[in-house]
């Protein structure tokens, strides 16, 4: 009679095969979900990063990754060149946190440059304020 605490080798092999099958199915679904997020970001008008839930090793530390759509103003040209890579306007890329911060800063500076060139000053036709602090009115600005 077999020991009741020992699982037969055939059952163990079947369970290991099932685990491998499920791992493969999970990896496939994960890549499909990533592609769906990528396509949705291409269509969406908002420009926010989306966490992928994955990590990369940088200097021995786990750093999260994000998907981000490059949305540059026309003054920026067709792409951003960073560390020998070209990131095209309108495309979605997966960045680690440090690269994402750098790309977002570049895009912010491009937008500020665009605003300075095309004078998107909201107060262009307003009378300039000349604030004066008065001690008589309790420090209010007149």
Query: pLDDT tens digits for 93-139?
Result: 999 999 999 999 999 998 888 887 776 666 666 677 666 666 666 65
Among the listed residues 72, 65, 70, the one whose alpha carbon sits nearest the alpha carbon of residue 41:
70
CA–CA distance, 96 with 104 (Å, rounded to integer): 12
Q: How far apart are the first and last CA of the chain?
A: 98
| Domain extents in the chain | 18-118
Condensed to tens digits (0 to 9), the pLDDT of residues 66-103 reads 989 888 888 888 899 998 999 998 888 999 999 999 99
With a threshold of 0.85, does the pTM exceed it? no
* Three-state DSSP state, 79: strand
């Amino acid at each position: 009679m077999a020991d009741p605490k020992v699982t037969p080798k055939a059952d163990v092999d079947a369970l290991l095969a099932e685990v491998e099958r499920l791992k493969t199915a999970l990896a496939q679904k994960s890549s499909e979900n990533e592609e769906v997020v990528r396509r949705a970001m291409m269509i969406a008008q908002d420009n926010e990063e989306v966490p992928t839930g994955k990590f990369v090793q940088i200097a021995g530390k786990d750093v999260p990754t994000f998907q981000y759509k490059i949305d540059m103003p026309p003054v920026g040209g067709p792409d951003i060149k960073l560390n020998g890579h070209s990131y095209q306007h309108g495309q979605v890329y997966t960045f680690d946190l440090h690269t994402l911060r750098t790309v977002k800063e570049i895009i912010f500076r491009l937008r500020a440059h665009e605003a300075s060139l095309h004078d998107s000053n909201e107060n262009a036709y307003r009378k300039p304020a000349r604030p004066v602090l008065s001690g008589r009115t309790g420090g209010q600005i007149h």
